[in-house]
């Protein structure tokens, strides 16, 4: 009987809200069974803004979608896209893109730096990388990925 009365009352409130002319009234109905409602939890990002679990928008969406991983070979100034295997190399002062390197480009595969960039054009940072990783092979020895870098735009 109580359920029927409660449902009838809720239905009447809904119909009353639909039947009024002019601006709709703001009617809110809350039902609490067995004690008080738990306190509201407000989640904030440590940096302010959206919490990490919220859908990404704007710059955060761009960052979440576009990460490119490269190996940069300082001795020859060549970039290799890790996911595609494609190479970026200089030829007559122009950057070239190819799946294989020409015979004129010698690559020391034991000496590279791993980079994570937000661009599909790593050569835009070549001047910076050339200086930053100039001594990479000589001072740190050889090996796959010695001196990992996480350069970002």
pLDDT tens-digit series, residues 21-77: 555 455 455 555 555 555 554 444 445 556 555 566 665 555 556 789 999 999 999
Neighbours of 70 (CB within 10 A): 28
- Residue 134: predicted pLDDT: 83
What's the pLDDT tens digit per position in 107-117?
999 999 999 99
CA distance 61 to 49: 14
Average pLDDT over residues 81-90: 96
88 — pLDDT class (breaks 50, 70, 90): very high
Could you tell me the two tokens for 44? Answer: 């904030």
User: DSSP code of 147?
Assistant: T
- Residue 66: predicted pLDDT: 76
């Amino acid at each position: 009987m109580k359920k029927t009365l409660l449902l009838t009352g809720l239905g009447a409130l809904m119909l009353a809200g639909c039947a009024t002319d002019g601006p709709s009234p703001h009617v809110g109905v809350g039902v609490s069974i067995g004690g008080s409602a738990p306190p509201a939890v407000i989640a904030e990002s440590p940096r302010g803004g959206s919490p990490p679990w919220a859908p990404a928008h704007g710059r955060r969406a761009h960052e979440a979608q576009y990460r490119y991983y490269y190996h940069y070979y300082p001795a020859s100034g060549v970039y290799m896209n890790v996911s595609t295997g494609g190479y970026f190399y200089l030829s007559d002062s122009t950057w070239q893109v190819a799946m294989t390197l020409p015979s004129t480009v010698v690559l020391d595969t034991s000496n590279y730096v791993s980079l994570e960039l937000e661009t599909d054009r790593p050569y835009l940072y070549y001047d910076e990388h050339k200086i930053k990783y100039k001594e990479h092979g000589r001072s740190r020895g050889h090996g796959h990925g010695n001196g990992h870098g996480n350069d970002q735009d």
